[in-house]
């Protein structure tokens, strides 16, 4: 018999009660369990850890039992929960603002694969980050703080990292070209972008470093003081550090504030100054390459959402809405490859 959502929540609540003392020796149980977001392969829950001296808010990220983590879409390969937890630990030790991991789920717990981390207060919705009046000061320092955080991520020694896939520019371009071809749609702007990328492939970096893989507005926890936590490490890999800087500048993550190329809240100059203050070295031409690639990558991801879901799953309004955004990336690519006067 298939488990209902209510039954699944009861099982999860019972399991968390059983492991509460593993999270904190002072714990007496949990309360206020609530699903925050998620999909078929990954869930995020909030709950309170109950203690005699009060409550402590926590976050659970997990793949439920019997749910396989996706092997990847195109070239995007998911790290797995244990690797994510390990990366958060390494990042914290390097001075990157991240939530503290408190415990990892074990098979014997019976509630899936995942980990529990401290709750960090703040805003993650990109549209609010670029518009909310209460975050006005944060927007003046955020690009610089992002640069510092990325420099710290890229400085983590490979010997301290769990096993990760490696990604080279030429391979990434080839893989996304194959994915676009398999979709069967004809988009002249995408073809133009692929030709430009193939002509402008950067040399291999001197060393491949830890790349977050999805460092953008929407995966950052922001408070009135600025950056509070870097979230969502599931696409981390080894590669060119400029990839993260370019991805952060993709227009799709500016939420309408196109004049501010870094997430809709800051300038490239502030991002680069922060990165260099953190010990990194900026190569602006490579950042531009990865911004072009990132815009094309997102466009192809949107394009795939417009197609019929695999396995006979029903079409949804959400998929169609994302699918039509591929046309937005065509405009972004034209602005990047043939910029108009004053275009950013």
For the ranges 16-30, 39-53, 267-281, the one whose mean pLDDT is highest: 267-281
pLDDT per residue as tens digits for the range 161-171: 999 999 999 99
Q: Is residue 344 included in any domain, yes or no?
A: no
The SS3 of residue 123 is strand
Q: Please report, for the domain that includes residue 77, its CATH number.
A: 3.30.200
pLDDT score at 44: 92
pLDDT per residue as tens digits for the range 279-295: 999 999 999 999 999 99
* pLDDT confidence tier of residue 156, bands split at 50, 70 and 90: very high
In a shared domain, residues 80 and 172: no
Nearest CA to 18 out of 98, 90, 106, 93 is that of 106
In a shared domain, residues 28 and 83: yes
CA distance 34 to 48: 10
DSSP 205-248: PSS-EEE-S--STTSEEEETTEEEEE---TT-EEE-THHHHHHH
Contact call for residues 231 and 220 (beta carbons, < 8 A):
yes
Judge whether residue 40 has pLDDT over 70.
no
CA distance 63 to 249: 30
Mean local confidence (pLDDT), 176-195: 91
Q: Please report, for the domain that includes residue 215, its CATH number.
A: 3.90.1200.10
pLDDT score at 305: 72
Q: Which tokens is 71 given?
A: 């092997």
pLDDT score at 1: 45
Scan for tokens 């491949």, then name that residue.
208
Query: End of a domain among 83, 118, 153?
Result: 118
Judge whether residue 25 has pLDDT over 70.
yes
In a shared domain, residues 158 and 195: yes
pLDDT per residue as tens digits for the range 194-250: 999 999 999 999 899 999 999 999 999 999 999 999 999 999 999 999 999 999 999
Q: Domains in the chain: how many in total?
A: 2
Judge whether residue 68 has pLDDT over 60.
no
Burial of residue 7 (CB within 10 Å: 0-12, 13-18, 19+) is exposed
Q: Is residue 141 included in any domain, yes or no?
A: yes
In a shared domain, residues 30 and 177: no
Neighbours of 261 (CB within 10 A): 22
* pLDDT confidence tier of residue 75, bands split at 50, 70 and 90: very low
Give me the percent of the chain exceeding a pLDDT of 70.
Answer: 86
In a shared domain, residues 133 and 270: yes
Judge whether residue 66 has pLDDT over 90.
no
Query: End of a domain among 92, 118, 144?
Result: 118
pLDDT per residue as tens digits for the range 295-309: 999 999 888 776 656
Burial of residue 61 (CB within 10 Å: 0-12, 13-18, 19+) is buried
Judge whether residue 13 has pLDDT over 50.
yes
Q: Is residue 210 included in any domain, yes or no?
A: yes
Nearest CA to 2 out of 64, 70, 68 is that of 64
Q: Is residue 222 included in any domain, yes or no?
A: yes
Judge whether residue 38 has pLDDT over 70.
no
* Angle, alpha carbons 290-296-300 (nearest 5°): 140
In a shared domain, residues 290 and 220: yes
Query: End of a domain among 118, 153, 170?
Result: 118
In a shared domain, residues 56 and 188: no
In a shared domain, residues 212 and 316: yes
Residue-averaged pLDDT of the chain: 90
Nearest CA to 189 out of 304, 342, 339, 327 is that of 327
Q: Could you tell me the residue range of the domain that residue 185 belongs to? A: 126-337
In a shared domain, residues 178 and 253: yes
* pLDDT confidence tier of residue 79, bands split at 50, 70 and 90: confident
* pLDDT confidence tier of residue 4, bands split at 50, 70 and 90: low
pLDDT score at 185: 81
């Amino acid at each position: 018999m298939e488990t209902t959502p209510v039954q699944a929540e009861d099982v999860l609540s019972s399991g968390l009660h059983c492991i509460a003392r593993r999270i904190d020796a002072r714990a007496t149980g949990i309360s206020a369990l609530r699903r925050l977001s998620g999909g078929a392969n990954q869930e995020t829950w909030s709950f309170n850890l109950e203690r005699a001296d009060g409550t402590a808010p926590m976050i659970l990220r997990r793949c439920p039992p019997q749910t396989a983590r996706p092997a990847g879409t195109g070239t995007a390969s998911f790290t797995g929960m244990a690797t994510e937890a390990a990366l958060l630990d390494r990042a914290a030790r390097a001075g990157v603002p991240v939530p503290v991991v408190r415990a990892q789920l074990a098979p014997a717990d019976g509630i899936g694969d995942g980990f529990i981390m401290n709750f960090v207060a703040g805003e993650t919705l990109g549209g609010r980050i670029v518009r909310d009046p209460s975050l006005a000061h944060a927007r003046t320092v955020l690009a610089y703080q992002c640069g510092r955080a990325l420099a710290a991520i890229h400085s983590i020694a490979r010997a301290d990292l769990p096993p990760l896939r490696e990604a080279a520019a030429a391979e990434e371009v080839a893989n996304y070209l194959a994915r676009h071809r398999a979709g069967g749609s004809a988009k002249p702007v995408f073809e133009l972008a692929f030709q430009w990328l193939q002509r402008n492939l950067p040399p291999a970096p001197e060393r491949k470093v830890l790349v977050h893989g999805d460092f953008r507005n929407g995966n950052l926890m922001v408070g009135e003081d600025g950056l509070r936590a870097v979230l969502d490490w599931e696409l981390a890999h080894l590669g060119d550090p400029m990839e993260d800087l370019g991805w952060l500048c993709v227009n799709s993550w500016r939420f309408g504030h196109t004049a501010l190329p870094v997430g809709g809240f800051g300038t490239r100059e502030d991002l680069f100054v922060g990165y260099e203050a953190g010990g990194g070295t900026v190569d602006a031409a490579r950042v531009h390459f990865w911004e072009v690639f990132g815009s094309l990558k997102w466009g192809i991801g949107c394009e795939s959402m417009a197609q019929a879901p695999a396995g006979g799953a029903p079409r949804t309004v959400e998929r169609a809405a994302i699918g039509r955004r591929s046309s937005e990336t065509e405009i972004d690519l034209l602005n990047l490859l043939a910029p108009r006067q004053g275009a950013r």
